[in-house]
Structure 1
Amino acid sequence: MKAIGIKAPGGPEMLELREVPAPVPGPGEVLIDVVAAGINRADVQQRRGFYPPPAGASDILGLEVSGRIAGFGPNVAKAFSKGDKVIALLSGGGYAQQVAVSAEQVLRIPAGVDVVTAAALPEVAATVYSNLFMTAQLQAGETVLIHGGTGGIGVMAVQLAKALGANVAATSGSEEKTSTLTAFLGVDIAINYREQDFVEVLRERTGGHGADVILDVVGAKYLQRNVDALAQYGRLVIIGMQGGTTAELDLGMLVSKRAAIIGTTLRARPTEEKGAIMNAVREHVWPLVSNGKVKTLVAKTFPLAQAAQAHAYFDSGEHMGKVLLTV
């Protein structure tokens, strides 16, 4: 089959279309004919040589796909049939014509979503629901700050938080993106981080309360300021390190607020945990997608053979929403 390989760690030009052996589904796994794959920040880090796949995972890029069931390994417990339209959360292997994955990490596509657009859902839905609601326990009426509000994770996080009844603040890097946050996504507090200090804006707009929960993809660069922005008993959930991995922190501020810092990753979790998250997504997120309360925002699609161009576009930061590869 055809898949995207990495010639050497580096820029988008290091991606190439190549012929590789087709996957064979093992016990409990299904084989999926891939229709589309989502591009994520983790793919970029792996391409650069900074984020190797977990032990036993495919070294092909791609953490989420949509497609159709093509076959089964032995002992598949979930009731799928050949041809079913599905999405899958992966540990790797998505930039390819086929992928084999545990049936526990596969869901049928929610009603009203086409099979290409569906590729924008699995990683962001699982990441956001597991972190904001299962881990941080975000509650209706609380204030949540979401960094990178117009990225794939951000768009989903804003909408799910709004649907729950939270007060939502989000950052972005341009006036155009800030307008999108307000007009399209209904954000209560939209902050242009290039021109505004998110800590000061949040304090002013919340009457000094701050954020009960912060979902952060930046990491070290924002660590102290995130703690500054937290409310009493606030929860900072770090899911990305675009701004580095090492920072100093005023522990006195953290302790005085009785706040918590939580670091999580989805890719390396065991199948059982991913299965539990996907079941929660099916129960709590899919109904919101089907009734239109949560919309899927796709910035642009590229053919699989143009993965290098797709990564260059992703790296530019110009996109709002998900970037997809179509097979």
Structure 2
Amino acid sequence: MTTMRAVDIEGGKGPVSALHIANIPRPKPTGAQALVKVKAFGLNRMDLIQRIGEYTLPPQAPATLGVEFSGIIEELGDAPERDFKIGDKVFGLAYGGAYAEYIAVSTHMLVHKPDELSWEQCAGIPETWITATQAIYLISHFAPGKSILWHAGASSVSIAGIQLTVADGASAVYATARSDEKCDFAIKELGATAAFNTRTSDWVDEVMKATGGKGVDVIIDFIGADYFQQNLNAIAKDGAIVILGWLSGDQIKDGLDLSAFIRQRCTVSGSSLRSRDEEYQGKLRNQLVEHALPRFLDGRFNVIIDKVLPWESIQEAHQLLEDNKTKGKIVCTIGS
């Protein structure tokens, strides 16, 4: 078989209505790659940006959407990791191509699927949990005893990050969200210390009250421009702000007060995962396997899935994510 079905975008970019399933060439695994028959794939906000043509792809990424998946190895290249063989059930992270019946992906980015977790759960782990791991431990240098704030507290990365930092000894874990329902979710379901509704309260004031005027040690931000000054106002001395997205835009408004950089001795870092090389991503995969996977198996960590849809409903799936009303992952399944 030289072709396969995959989600395509009519005209190469466009609105939700441009998504459809088409026949494209089936990839061939080479070197350390495996060819995986996809059972399920997770959706991420970057998929929406890529769909409309505003995401700069890394050079090794195929045009097909999707970076996380679960499935069964059907074929191997000539130099795979020794731990993987044909027939293995796996899940993993890719540079792209997961919205398809088959994906060619490095075995360095695969994880053996535990029997205790479903195909859908495994498809919702790689991108979000590895992104959270990177932000916490490699970028912000979070350590036990520090306080942390997760913006967009009901988003998939923050769901992972709140659970990780609660488990790893944060002195306090805060979150922001745009509804009371999502704030309650962050506290009651994920274990956050407190969560602040950004529509009905001044979250900076709330953070300062909660921390006794000290501010928070680490802020993980996906909002971008609208929160840049507020992040500076809420950060503690020697704190770290990590920017992972710009949902409110990438242009900072006039009147930015830069004094916090000196007054608070804070750092602001930006990061992405998809642009990282395979060696870097492989180390994060190993950290996921060693640090988080055992906690999924014993129930301390949960993969929160908002909706599972057949991949034929890909337009509905993208619309759900675009409407920003979900709590957790949207996952699509392929076949039975």
TM-score class normalised by the smaller sequence: over 0.9
Matched, 1:279 2:282: no
- 1:4 aligns with one of 7, 11, 36: 7
Per-residue deviation, 1:175 = 1.3
Match of 2:34 among 30, 34, 40: 30
Note if 1:261 corresponds to 2:264.
no
1:60 corresponds, among 41, 46, 64, to 64
Q: 2:161 aligned with 1:157, yes or no?
A: yes
Q: Which residue of 1 aligns with 2:193?
A: 188
Aligned to 1:244: 249
1:323 aligns with 2:327: no
Q: Give the Cα–Cα distance (whole angstroms) in 2 for the partners of residues 140 and 133 of structure 1.
A: 11
Displacement, 1:111? 5.5
Aligned counterparts of 1:78 and 1:109: Cα–Cα separation in 2: 16
Corresponding residue SS for 2:63: coil
Deviation readout 1:214-257 (Å, 9 max, x if unpaired): 11111112111111110000000011111111215422111211
The one-character-per-residue Cα deviations of 1:107-128 (angstroms, maximum 9, x if unpaired) are 1124521122110000011100
Could you say which residue in structure 2 is the equivalent of 1:170? 175
Query: Residue 91 of structure 1 contacts residue 267 of structure 1 at CA under 8 Å; is this kept in 2?
Result: yes
Render the CA deviation track for 1:109-153: whole Å, top value 9, x for unaligned.
245211221100000111000111122111112110001111111
Task: Give the match for residue 98 of structure 1.
Answer: 102
1:233-284 superposed Cα distances (whole Å, 9 cap, x missing partner): 0000011111111215422111211111110010011111111111111111
Report what 1:232 is aligned to.
237
RMSD: 1.2
**C-alpha distance in structure 2 between counterparts of 1:111 and 1:292, whole Å:** 14
For residues 273 and 48 of structure 2, the distance between their equivalents in structure 1, rounded to whole angstroms, comes to 16
Equivalent-residue separation in structure 2 for 1:296 and 1:120 (angstroms) = 7
Q: Distance in 1 between matches of 2:183 and 2:47?
A: 26
Report SS of the residue matched to 2:284. helix
SS of the residue corresponding to residue 227 of structure 1 reads: helix
List gaps (5 residues or longer) in structure 2: none
Cα separation, partners in 2 of 1:109 and 1:209, compared to 1, 3 Å: farther
Residue 37 of structure 1 contacts residue 65 of structure 1 at CA under 8 Å; is this kept in 2? yes
Encode CA deviations 1:53-77: one digit per residue, 9 max, x unaligned. 2112111000100111111011112
Distance in 2 (alpha carbons) for counterparts of 1:111 and 1:215: 33
1:136 partner letter: S
Q: Deviations over 1:304-326 (max 9, x none)?
A: 11111100111111111000111
Contact 1:28 1:76 in 2 (8 A): yes
TM-score normalised to structure 1 length: 0.97
| Unaligned runs of at least 5 residues, structure 1 | none
Report what 2:224 is aligned to. 219
**Identity over the aligned pairs, expressed in percent?**
34
> Secondary structure in 2 aligned to 1:78?
coil
Deviation at 1:207, TM superposition (A): 0.5
Distance 1:175 1:220 in 2: 23
Q: Does the 8 Å CA contact 1:85/1:115 hold for their aligned counterparts?
A: no
Give me the whole-angstrom Cα distance separating, in 2, the residues matched to 1:56 and 1:144: 34
In 1, the alpha carbon distance for the partners of 2:91 and 2:275 equals: 19
How far apart, in 2, do the equivalents of 1:315 and 1:206 lie? 34
The count of aligned residue pairs is 327
Pick which of 266-275 and 239-248 moved more: 239-248
> Structure 2: which amino acid aligns with 1:2?
R
